[in-house]
């Protein structure tokens, strides 16, 4: 017999949707990515510290996927949205966070397309990946985005982001490819966080509904059965929610005094009063996290990403000091940057070092003052030699 059928045996009146959502085989709901909120000064300190500790390498396998459980996140979000929507339509009260999800679900679903169209998967396979847990194997820029979301509670602030990126690169330079991957990466991290929040909303709501069903016929349950039921719910991490709601249901039914049900509750959750205070505070925090994440998904699309890259990339700041580069058309500038990226990858030098070497060769106001001369033209052999490379037939 499966654990979900055990749950159905103990609460036979529970709808199948509840049984599925609370199936312990799915594991405990993960907490949202939410940490202490940082201001500019604290973000600068954290950026420098993170840059020092982020060890990265190129991925061993080019087949490694970037988008961590993106499809599963969307499936879980759809399941939570469906359950919460049914609850709302049948007259049950839902939280402000749940209302945010229902009202903006089209935007959340649209992220799947935005993410896949933002940059191709193969783009991420060339990015450095983190060596150490908890994000080992994921692109380093994912770790940067994860930290930014955690310490802003998912609220997007363009100035704070550039401040954080600049501080990070005081100790660890990010590549141009990483910076251009950041908008898509932020979307992925925000969808991950929304999945965690939506799953928590749905499972908590389901646990309360189970508690109401049990509380309505509490006299039919032995302490052993209540213990078994609590064990099943703990596998999804909603045992405390269930217990707090049981206490509320007993109060609703005016079951007071020293009954065996109260004795069982006190023995099982000695800090019941604290839990009753804590849960509304957690709900308020989740409300804010959901609204922040949804607002940020909109703001990311409106942000001036070329300006952000220009302000935070040491390579771009160096190149923009050249009037010739600054005057280049967008397509020519892209060719220049792509050539620098490839030379950096081949030589083992950083992109900034390649750009510095090239800038040192750009003299006067003739052809030698133009990046194309050194990257694609007659000056290329000299640039390649100075980078310690041997030119091959393959040109970049």
Q: Mean of the pLDDT values across residues 331-347?
A: 91
CA distance readout (Å), 274 to 256, 271, 303? 19, 5, 42
Please list, in sequence order, all residues whose beta carbon lies within 8 angstroms of the beta carbon of residue 18, skipping any fewer than 6 positions away: 206, 209, 210
- Structure confidence at residue 3 (pLDDT): 54
Q: Is residue 391 part of a domain?
A: no
The whole-model pTM stands at 0.90
Same domain, 167 and 179: yes
Please give the Cα distance from 275 to 243 (Å, whole number): 9
Q: Is residue 396 part of a domain?
A: no
Same domain, 266 and 342: no
Task: Mean pLDDT check: name the lowest of 11-20, 105-114, 225-234, 256-265.
Answer: 256-265
- Structure confidence at residue 258 (pLDDT): 77
Same domain, 163 and 242: yes
1 band by pLDDT with thresholds 50, 70 and 90? very low
> 56-58 and 128-130: which strand pairing?
antiparallel
pLDDT score of 396 more than 50: no
- Structure confidence at residue 53 (pLDDT): 94
**Which of 281, 312, 343 marks a domain boundary?**
312
pLDDT mean across residues, the chain: 90
Tell me: the pLDDT tens digits for 251-304? 887 777 778 988 999 999 999 899 999 999 999 999 999 999 999 999 999 999
Tell me: the pLDDT tens digits for 135-159? 988 999 999 999 999 999 999 999 9
pLDDT score of 393 more than 70: no
- Structure confidence at residue 354 (pLDDT): 95
Q: Is residue 394 part of a domain?
A: no
**Which of 260, 281, 312 marks a domain boundary?**
312
Same domain, 117 and 193: yes
Same domain, 275 and 358: no
Q: Is residue 323 part of a domain?
A: yes
Contact predicate 348/386, CB 8 Å: no
Q: Is residue 330 part of a domain?
A: yes
Q: Specify the number of domains making up the chain.
A: 2
Q: Is residue 226 part of a domain?
A: yes
Same domain, 100 and 135: yes
Tell me: the pLDDT tens digits for 63-77? 555 677 888 999 999
Same domain, 111 and 181: yes
Same domain, 225 and 236: yes
- Structure confidence at residue 2 (pLDDT): 54
Q: Which residues constitute the domain of residue 299? A: 1-312
Q: Is residue 187 part of a domain?
A: yes
Same domain, 244 and 377: no
- Structure confidence at residue 324 (pLDDT): 82
Q: What percent of the chain has pLDDT over 70?
A: 95
**Which of 295, 312, 329 marks a domain boundary?**
312
Q: Is residue 393 part of a domain?
A: no
Please give the Cα distance from 29 to 56 (Å, whole number): 29
Same domain, 107 and 185: yes
pLDDT score of 85 more than 70: yes
- Structure confidence at residue 219 (pLDDT): 92
The torsion angles phi and psi of 93, rounded to 5 degrees, stand at -75, 135
- Structure confidence at residue 41 (pLDDT): 95
366 band by pLDDT with thresholds 50, 70 and 90? confident
Tell me: the pLDDT tens digits for 143-201? 999 999 999 999 999 999 999 999 999 999 999 999 999 999 999 999 999 999 999 99
Residue closest to 358 by CA, chosen among 345, 378, 372? 372
Please give the Cα distance from 298 to 292 (Å, whole number): 10
Same domain, 190 and 339: no
Tell me: the pLDDT tens digits for 215-224? 999 999 999 9
Q: Mean of the pLDDT values across residues 327-335?
A: 86
Tell me: the pLDDT tens digits for 291-321? 999 999 999 999 999 999 999 999 999 999 8
Same domain, 298 and 380: no
CA distance readout (Å), 108 to 100, 146, 149? 11, 18, 17
């Amino acid at each position: 017999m499966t654990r979900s059928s055990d749950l159905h045996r103990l609460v036979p009146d529970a709808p199948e949707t509840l049984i599925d959502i609370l199936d312990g085989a799915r594991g405990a709901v993960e907490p949202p990515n939410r940490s202490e909120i940082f201001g500019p000064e604290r973000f600068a300190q954290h950026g420098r510290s993170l840059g020092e500790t982020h060890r990265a390498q190129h991925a061993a396998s080019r087949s490694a996927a970037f988008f961590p459980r993106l499809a599963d996140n969307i499936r879980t979000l759809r399941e939570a949205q469906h359950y919460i929507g049914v609850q709302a339509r049948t007259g049950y009260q839902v939280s402000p966070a749940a209302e945010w999800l229902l009202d903006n679900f089209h935007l959340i679903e649209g992220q799947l397309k935005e993410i896949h169209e933002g940059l191709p998967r193969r783009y991420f396979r060339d990015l450095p990946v983190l060596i150490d847990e908890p994000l080992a194997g994921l692109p380093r820029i994912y770790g940067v985005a994860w930290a930014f979301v955690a310490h802003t509670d998912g609220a997007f602030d363009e100035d704070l982001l550039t401040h954080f990126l600049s501080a990070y690169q005081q100790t660890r330079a990010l590549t141009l490819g990483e910076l251009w991957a950041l908008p898509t990466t932020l979307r992925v991290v925000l969808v991950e966080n929304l999945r965690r929040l939506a799953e928590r909303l749905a499972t908590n709501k389901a646990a309360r509904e189970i508690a109401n069903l049990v509380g309505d016929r509490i006299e039919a349950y032995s302490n052993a059965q209540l213990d078994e039921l609590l064990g099943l719910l703990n596998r999804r991490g909603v045992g405390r929610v269930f217990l707090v709601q049981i206490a509320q249901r007993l109060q609703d039914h005016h079951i007071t005094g020293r009954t065996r049900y109260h004795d069982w509750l006190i023995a099982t959750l000695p800090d019941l009063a604290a839990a009753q205070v804590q849960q509304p505070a957690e709900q308020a925090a989740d409300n804010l996290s959901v609204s922040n994440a949804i607002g940020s998904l909109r703001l990311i699309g409106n942000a001036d990403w070329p300006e952000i890259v220009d302000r935070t990339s040491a390579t771009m700041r160096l190149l923009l000091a050249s009037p010739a580069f600054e005057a280049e058309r967008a397509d020519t500038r892209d060719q220049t940057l792509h050539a620098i990226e490839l030379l950096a990858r081949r030589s083992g030098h950083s992109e900034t070092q390649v750009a510095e070497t090239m800038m040192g060769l750009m003299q006067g106001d003739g052809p030698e003052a133009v990046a194309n001369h050194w990257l694609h033209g007659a000056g290329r052999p000299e640039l390649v030699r100075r980078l310690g490379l041997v030119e091959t037939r393959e040109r970049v």
